[in-house]
Chains A and B, each alone.
Chain A
Amino acid sequence: MLQEEKIIREHDSGRRPFTVPEGYFEGFTEKMMTRLAAQGNISPVAEQNTQVVSLPLWKKVMRYAAIAAVAAVGIGGAWHYMNHTPKHHSEQIMASQADSQTFELTDEAINDILDYEQLDNQQIAYYLTVAY
């Protein structure tokens, strides 16, 4: 060892005094991949990490039962409306529809509707894995 190096060792506690914020390394990889995704270099992190998980049978049954119940209420409601609404009321509605002005949707409005209605892959994956 160099003489000068010995002098340095005498002044060196051997401890490494630098620290990092709590959880820094644990969260770094996700932060990094999110940054790459934000820059448009890769697809969003959620997509990469999402795994398709099979739902348990009872959840599937519950889901279909809920869908069936909603459909039944809707059909029943429609049937009730059609059979219990006075005829003259139906005619009034039809007449007012005939009189109503047609209107045009702007491109912006159509895009808003499409954005609202369309689910992307990431959202679908989220609903399949997290929401249920």
Chain B
Amino acid sequence: MNWNEKQIVEQLHDEHTREHAFAQLVDHFKEPLYWQIRRMVFAHEDADDVLQNTFVKAWMGIENFRGDAQLGTWLFRIANNETLNFLERNRQQVSLDDEGAAGVSARLESDPYFDGDETERLLQEAVAALPARQRQVFNMKYFDEMKYEDISELLGTSVGALKASYHHAVKKISDFFHAHD
């Protein structure tokens, strides 16, 4: 189905068409949001929970969406908040010195929805060891190859701060690989 954002926004603000439009919105954004979340929380079940909570929050706040930002940006910000809250609740933010990062690798090894080899597990382990904000910036810049300007709009952080964050992240990960080579 063709995506017409202007029309969807209008339908979302009309209580007679809201549910139908919201179903279209879920359909359109579920995958990009899922992968954004999954790379932060690693396990499928966790990503699924966070994604559902994201759409519940979006539904609850749909009347407050005034179209100042694009729907995708608005949803991403909700997903981002939900993800960070989840990580905070589950205390998954670990440092390179913690055993927690190695725990992520062990979990991935037994995860039926992760089919990476040892090198890919190590990369994820290194990413998991980053503080949540750096991990987020790294994922968006490295894996999604997004421009700093676009990341800046999504995260509400200056381009300069993002560059510094990304630089710190790649330094930590490369050090991690040095230590494991």
Q: Residues of A with Cβ closer than 8 Å to B?
A: 2-5, 7-8, 11-13, 15-21, 24-25, 28-29, 31-33, 35-36, 39, 41-43, 48
Contacts and interface: CB of A to CB of B under 8 A. Distances in A.
B77 interface: no
B114 A2 contact: no
A21 B111 CA distance: 12
Contacts of B39: 18
Interface in B88-141: 113-117, 119-120, 122-124
3 closest A-B pairs by beta carbon, nearest first, are A17-B116, A4-B174, A7-B174
What is the interface of chain B mostly: helix, strand, loop, or mixed? helix
Contacts of A5: 142, 170, 174
Nearest to A9: B142
Contacts of A3: 174
Nearest to A6: B174
B113 A20 contact: yes
A36 B119 contact: no
A28 to B, nearest CB: 5
Interface range on chain B (Cβ under 8 Å from partner): 35 or more
Contacts of B124: 17
A21 B112 CA distance: 9
A90 to B, nearest CB: 58
Given A13-B120, A15-B120, A19-B113, A8 B142 contact: yes
Contact of A11 (B35, B52, B123): B123
Contact of A42 (B19, B27, B117, B142): B19
B59 interface: yes
A32 B26 contact: yes
29 contacts: A4-B170, A5-B142, A11-B123, A12-B123, A13-B116, A13-B117, A13-B120, A15-B120, A17-B117, A18-B42, A18-B44, A18-B113, A18-B114, A18-B116, A19-B44, A19-B114, A20-B34, A20-B44, A20-B113, A21-B113, A29-B26, A32-B26, A32-B52, A33-B19, A33-B23, A35-B56, A36-B22, A36-B59, A48-B19
